[in-house]
A = this chain, B = another copy of it.
Amino acid sequence: MVRPTMEDVAARAGVSRALVSLVMRGSPKVSDQRRAAVLKAAEELGYSPHAMARSLASRTSHVLGVMVSDLHNAFFAEVVDGLDAVAAEQGFELIINTGGRSPTRERRALRSLLSFRPAGLVLLSPVVPAADIAQAADHTPVVLVARSSRLSTVDTVNDDGERGIGLAVDHLVSLGHKRIAHLDGGGGTQAAPRRRGYLTAMASHGLPPRVVGSEYTDAGGARAVQGLLDDLPTAIISCNDFNAIGAISALEEAGFRVPHDVSVVGYDNTSLAALRHVSLTTVDQPRNEFGRLAAGALLQRVRGERDEPVRHLLHPSLVVRTTTAPPVRPA
């Protein structure tokens, strides 16, 4: 259970500890003969370098810390895939932990990550106050994904929610819809730009807006629809996919068919939306790209290539499935 150290390898190979260090770091200035001897000894002992000792001694880190606010949400998994790809490519490793959407746990997670002295930090949709983020950013480069910030020390990567909802509105209008309601995400993370996008797009088409208060859950979507039943629009744009699925259930329970009687559009293109049983028309965020850009921005900071903040605002795209169709009822 006690792991061998460089000293052990050096003794076994009959060389100095420094030489073993050179071999482990792949230095070219080691003779082939010694290199082979060292590698052989390392192999025999089952030696592997001690990352912490290494980074302590070298005063550098090849670790990026990733704080995922909610591990239950597959959204983040794809962002992590993007991060991982870029990090691996550039010789960095990821350590992840999670805040469970609670500021307390999240702050703990942040402290834990920072205690490993990572080269940089990626925060995925954090819920901690900006002050905590600013404090972290004092010590190490930070990039925020799915959360905006005015801090000049942090970079951000977000989707253009205003534009995303605009795509949904345009799609429905082009199908012939005029009475289009928006189920609003309330105080949720990206609710405001989405609502704004809805209002702007409706106005640009000269249509009267109709915003209904709701939330990011399927129960919320169902409830909102129940309030719409007396005066049903021909199309509904939900604040996210869960909400849309709740809306669809409530519509079907009330005897309406989707998309025949009402078209429904979601947001996020979660894996749910792709299920054939759901097959939801929705707005897709380039999640993998989020991760890639976040890693890229972070590594620029890590290498000291940039000082001014970067604000990535990515273009969402509409994925048309089978919950939208031209209206059949009088518009």
Contacts and interface: CB of A to CB of B under 8 A. Distances in A.
The 10 closest A-B pairs by CB, nearest first: A52-B52, A51-B115, A71-B77, A249-B277, A96-B96, A72-B77, A249-B276, A95-B95, A93-B112, A245-B277
B3 A139 contact: yes
Contact of A46 (B139, B272, B275): B139
A328 B297 CA distance: 61
Contacts of A96: 95-98
Given A72-B74, A77-B71, A48 B115 contact: yes
A218 B275 contact: yes
Interface in A234-286: 242, 245-246, 248-249, 252, 271-272, 275-278
Most buried by B among A76, A115, A242, A252: A115
A52 B275 contact: no
A111 interface: yes
Nearest to A219: B276
A298 to B, nearest CB: 14
B52 A56 contact: yes
B48 A114 contact: yes
Given A3-B117, A84-B98, 10 more contacts: A71-B76, A71-B77, A71-B81, A77-B98, A80-B98, A96-B96, A222-B276, A246-B277, A249-B275, A277-B278
A214 to B, nearest CB: 15
Nearest to A49: B115
A100 interface: yes
A7 interface: no
A192 interface: no
Interface in A94-110: 94-98, 100, 108
A256 to B, nearest CB: 14
Given A94-B97, A272-B272, A115 B277 contact: no
Nearest to A135: B46
A21 interface: no
A95 to B, nearest CB: 5
Given A71-B71, A72-B74, A74-B72, A218 B94 contact: no
Contacts of A138: 1, 46
A213 to B, nearest CB: 20
A275 B220 CA distance: 12
Contacts of A74: 71-74
A289 B1 CA distance: 28
Most buried by B among A74, A242, A246: A74
Given A46-B139, A139-B46, A80 B84 contact: no
